[in-house]
Structure 1
């Protein structure tokens, strides 16, 4: 189960990685303090959102017990499919990145927190799906947060050199892994 949780953590962290690469590419000085700040924001959001989704899923678990594996598969398929679609659509757009206006102070923090929450919405859907299967959600959420912190931290540091190009491939891979995890859950509950 640890391997599945780790794969899930890396998959969910890929959109944060893409956003961190972009922040690193757009930042004037993407050093350790900026990487730490971005890593913490993304890590905390990615840790909290699956717990919120899981709590909602638990609240309705008795209503959907007979089809829980289909719901988990459907949610993971939808989130993974959206990640793949975003990666493909981004690759069709112009390669030049527009970093937008340079922000500072409170507006910079607000932009960072908004991005962290936006990139973790899919983790809430995954958490709701995980409420339907036997998983240690606290450990899984902590692993998701830790992996996301590390991935976002590294993303900022390499963002200046790699830019957003690498982020599209990471998001594509993350989407494929989420679909694979959903298929594994469906297989285990229907055939296995």
Structure 2
């Protein structure tokens, strides 16, 4: 796989994380650059690890992972999205001040949900001549960049949406989950 194809693959793998990051950023009260970078690094690290795991699995049992990866991503993202929508619509949510950061567990779960496709790509990479370490590093770097930008962009979206930003974020996550499922069925 040539370097241009690897870079394009890396940014393609980061698009769903970018969309989720916009939703996450929209639910925060004025996220700063370092908050966005922290979230970007969490997403990027997880997104770099999953193709490595997929590559290892691809060497042993590719048909099992490829058959279920999109369902796992779908349920994780729709479940997290539904929880965010519920939190945004429940009575009294208008009066609650936005948090300054998300819990590391929620960030990690969202990152895992958006990186399931990278796991499946890792499985595919096991069957072609590619340096998996370079591919995983590029995917992680692209995701870190895209998520950091997405959180900062979400800050603008959040100020426009006000207290309903969490509903927007939940709809975004659920939409990404549905998109992953629809493109893989």
Q: TM-score, normalised by structure 1?
A: 0.65
* Cα separation, 1, equivalents of 2:138 and 2:67: 24
Q: Is the 8 A contact 2:17 2:115 kept in 1?
A: no
Bigger mean CA deviation after superposition, 87-96 or 34-43:
87-96
Other-structure match for 1:129: 120
Given that 1:35 and 1:153 are in contact with CA atoms closer than 8 Å, whether structure 2 keeps it comes out as yes
How many Å apart are 1:90 and its aligned residue?
3.1
Q: Which moved more, 1:3-12 or 1:175-184?
A: 3-12
How many residues get paired? Answer: 170
- The structure-2 alpha-carbon separation of the partners of 1:3 and 1:92, relative to structure 1 and needing over 3 Å to count, comes to farther
Gaps of 5+ in 2: none
2:70 maps to 1:73: yes
| Residue segments in structure 1 that go unaligned for 5+ positions in a row | 25-29, 103-107, 187-192
Q: Structure 2 vs 1, CA of residues 79 and 44 (structure 1 numbering), >3 Å: closer, same or farther?
A: same
RMSD between aligned residues: 3.5
Specify the alignment match of 1:171 in structure 2. Answer: 170
The structural deviation recorded for 1:147 is 1.6
TM-score by length of 2: 0.67
Alignment of 1:36 with 2:33, yes or no, is yes
